[in-house]
Structure 1
Amino acid sequence: MYSQQSFNFLSQLADNNNREWFKQHQQTYEDLVRTPTLKFIEAMQGPILSLSPRLTAVPKKVGGSMMRPQRDSRFSKDKSPYKLNVGIQFRHFQAKDVHAPGIYLHLANDGCFLAAGIWHPESKALNAIRHCIDENPNGYKKASVQLAAAGFELSGDRLIRPPRGFDKDHPFIEELKRKDFIAIKPVTIEQVCADDFVNFCSEEFKHTIGLMGYLCFALDLDF
């Protein structure tokens, strides 16, 4: 599906990040980036459904699992109009209404990775996750061990001080300080371009089910 040419296009876009150039090369983008991405999402429908019937894989140009190529530059000093990466998000079906866990794939010349979990949950959801870790630490610990054994690393922002209501000597205080609960595993461009990439992703994402199920449990969501 993907090829080195897909990443070459992203390199060219980095050097020509303007609407006129993109419009002139729209068909190249379709052939090398969007079409392979939609085919990948379609091929992942079965594997994603087997992970959880609550997750979605929607191969649509707009409003599906492929994130839009346009940047939101309203609040950024960088006004370049296009992203230099491909983002694919296999969302929880309730994700439009709540901050729900999801599975993600990031493709870019400066780094590709698989991810699963929840990024920047709003305060109510974050508080629910923290209290779940406090009250049900074993399930979280089991999920963390499963992730680490498969080469995933929990990443994201943290508080400097303990969150309100939790003692600094809490045995899970470093986990409770997390503001994101995202597990990330780097992959190479060679792996992305390999013929077995769909099978590779299918197998790798199985290792994130413990975390995904735990977060849904914490947030009282179906999984």
Structure 2
Amino acid sequence: MLETNITKSTFQFLNSLKKNNNREWFAEHKTDFTTESDKVKSFFNNVLEKLKIHDEIERLKVFRIYRDVRFSKNKTPYKSNFSASYARAGQHRRGGYYLQVEPGNSFIATGFWNPEKEDLLRIRKEWELDTAELVAIIENPKFKKVWGQLVGEELKTAPKGFDKEDPNIEFIRKKQFIFIRKFSDKEVLSNDFIDQIDESFKMIKPYFNLMSSILTTNLNGESLLD
């Protein structure tokens, strides 16, 4: 049976790991890790089953607890969170979902993290033409109450080939198109956390529909798919 809740013991383990982030401690507590990891993976799979009711999901990826320290200044060997991503199925469905559980830093995220060069240009060209549909979606009070503002890395000025005085420059200069919803520890441990996640992911659908339409057509609205 799939887990429906995140438990206090998971937070206790992650807090202890954060304080004792070394291989010796982890080896001594490997059984605890396995127990908590299995529970959280079960929870992630439960989220997947709920997502499948209203979206087509190609893949669930549960991220490893082990950190890649080769190119990082932070040499601690383990992450202090459990996290997963959900990839949408099919060329005509763009965007993805992310879920992270960590004491004091739990959140869900969705959108477009690092669009490929061609996709980024296509998005910018669309915003150069018109942002009315985008604004109508992301400024909707119900949407905004759940997801807040569009966030992500952006240029300080206009990208090459675009007018810095363009009325839609605030969108054109973005490099990422992300929404993030944070949760308190109390919310994560509540009985309805999984429902809050699912309702939030449902709310993003109009945004995904718009962006998927943009990324699968040219500026004339003609399909780019075979």
TM-score tier by shorter-chain length is 0.7 to 0.9
Name 2:70's counterpart in structure 1.
Answer: 74
| TM-score, length of structure 2 as denominator length | 0.83
Residue 44 of structure 1 is matched in structure 2 by 47
Corresponding position of 1:11: 15
**Mapped contact 1:48–1:56 kept (Cα < 8 A):** no
Which aligned runs of 4 or more in structure 1 are off by greater than 4 angstroms?
A: none
Equivalent residues in 2 for 1:1-223 (5 A)? 1-32=5-36, 34-53=37-56, 55-56=57-58, 58=60, 65-93=61-89, 101-146=95-140, 147-220=143-216
Unpaired runs of 5+ residues, structure 2, are 217-223
The 3-state SS of whatever aligns with 1:185 is strand
Q: Offset at 1:142?
A: 2.4
Corresponding residue for residue 62 of structure 1: none
Query: Which residue does the alignment assign to 2:219?
Result: none
Q: Bigger shift: 207-216 or 111-120?
A: 207-216
Using the TM superposition, give the Cα deviation of residue 57 of structure 1 relative to its aligned residue in structure 2, in angstroms. Answer: 5.4
For the pair shown, the structure with the greater C-alpha radius of gyration is: 2
Cα distance in 2 for residues equivalent to 1:70 and 1:27: 16
Q: How many correspondences in the alignment?
A: 210
Residues 1:179 and 1:50: Cα distance change in structure 2 (over 3 Å)? same
Identity %: 29
- So what's the TM-score if we normalise by structure 1? 0.85
Residue type of the partner of 2:164? K
The two structures, once aligned, show a CA RMSD in angstroms of 2.2
Amino acid at match of 1:9: F
